[in-house]
Structure 1
Amino acid sequence: MRSNWKLSLGRLLSLFLMLSAGGMLPAQQEKTQGTGNKKPAEQAKPAPGGEELNVPAPVDPKTYKIGAEDVLNIRVWREGDLSGNVVVRPDGKITVPLAGEMEAAGLTPEQLTARVAEALSKFLTKPEVIISVVSVMSKRYYLSGNVGRSGPAPLVTPTTILQALSSAGLGQWAKKGKIIIMRGTERIKFNYDDVIKGKHLEQNIYLQDGDHIYVP
């Protein structure tokens, strides 16, 4: 009897010290641990591919046509003074150190690379040249109205209306059945709901430079 009393007193003392130190009762520990095990499963996950939509597509050096205002990067191996960024002028030309003025608009980065290398070969031995497009400024489409991101967007690769709208995002109150694409004096109707359901897919045309997508 006496030993039982000592055991109970010892347990009470242990519980008192544990609670004083900020601890929890065993039942509370089990409850908290059970909740903790569920937390990872309850965390919100990002929408699949949600971030990838905003990543710009790389310029294809074999097919992309350089235009006025595009920003190019010229790299000449072991020739830092000849390397750097250059903006295509409104007349479509660029100035390359040593090589002078050269036509860039209408050429692909690959074609321009070959021409610059040929021009520099008069001054350097087998120059190694790489030309890439840093920023597409010559070809754009525009978005306005009830969209998540309005304003100009670079037209780097062939882009459909649906791809453009998916990238920008539609507003909560967007009238998806009354979207208009303004192309010069032409007005092209686009029904977002129909297209995503696989209906009237002929509406989902490729955008052209200067197209304006308006979402009422």
Structure 2
Amino acid sequence: MRVLLCLLVALLAGCAHRLSLEAPEAVPLQGDYQIGAGDVVNINVWRNPEVSLSVPVRPDGKITTPLVEDLQAAGKTSTELARDIEKALSVYIQQPMVTVIVTSFVGPYAQQIRVIGQAARPQALPYRQGMSLMDVLIAVGGITDFAAGNKANIIRTVQGKRQTVPVRLHDLLRDGDISANVAVLPGDILVIPEGWF
């Protein structure tokens, strides 16, 4: 009997591990921040205030500044962009020294969390290291009264394969069940369906 009980506990533990909603614990650390369309960058050219300014990264991923037109910014780090601007400005300015600071973050599409459906404010959010479902819900203002929160799903792509992860938003928000707070990953799409009364 004792052996049977131990086998049953081991079997249940194995199933629980396989059905876990938790994201992989070892989420790879993100490298340096890559600029994305919609970010705002502050460009400072030392001793040249006339070409120093803040500019948004256009939807096509490029920026335009005085003396530098249509320079690719999306997908680059601020340091890489600064070196590219220095190279472009060197035609007009002797040994330009450029610093680029990202002041408004959106990030590349692959690094965003998208929230659609019955969120109070559906939107795309920049991913931050260690972000959880609760963080996402706070950012979008929670769910509407018409949401079927416990029927929501996270659509996630892992190694090129699309997965659907069920989440319990109603339990998390209305009942305070912290066990329903799961990790989110870059590129996740949170789908919150409408409930039928």
**1:205 equivalenced with 2:176 (yes/no):** no
* CA distances 1:2-31 after superposition (whole Å, capped 9, x unpaired): xxxxxxxxxxxxxxxxxxxxxxxxxxxxxx
Q: Which has the higher contact order (CA 8 A, sep 6+)?
A: 2
Alpha-carbon distance, 1:166 to partner: 3.2
1:63 corresponds to which residue? 32
TM-score by length of structure 1 reads 0.52
Alpha-carbon distance, 1:162 to partner: 2.8
- Structure with bigger strand share is 2
User: How many residues were matched structurally?
Assistant: 152
What's the secondary structure of 1:112's corresponding residue? helix
TM-score by length of structure 2 reads 0.56
**Pairwise CA RMSD of aligned residues?**
3.6
Distance 2:74 2:139 in 1: 28
The one-letter amino acid paired with 1:180 is N
**1:157 equivalenced with 2:128 (yes/no):** yes
* CA distances 1:37-72 after superposition (whole Å, capped 9, x unpaired): xxxxxxxxxxxxxxxxxxxxxxxxx72212234332
* CA distances 1:118-142 after superposition (whole Å, capped 9, x unpaired): 4324433443322223434554433
What pairs up with 1:1-40 in 2 under 5 angstroms?
A: none
Mark the CA change 1:112 to 1:86 in structure 2 (over 3 Å): closer, same or farther.
Answer: same
Q: 80, 85, 88: which one pairs with 1:119?
A: 88
Instruction: Tell whether the 8 Å contact from 2:143 to 2:149 is kept in structure 1 after alignment.
Output: no
Instruction: Tell whether the 8 Å contact from 1:136 to 1:154 is kept in structure 2 after alignment.
Output: no
- Structure with bigger helix share is 1
Distance 1:94 1:183 in 2: 31
**5+ long unaligned stretches in structure 2:** 1-30
The one-letter amino acid paired with 2:166 is K
1:98 corresponds to which residue? 67
Q: 143, 149, 168: which one pairs with 1:191?
A: 168
Instruction: Tell whether the 8 Å contact from 1:72 to 1:86 is kept in structure 2 after alignment.
Output: yes
**5+ long unaligned stretches in structure 1:** 1-61
Task: Work out the percentage of aligned pairs sharing the same amino acid.
Answer: 30
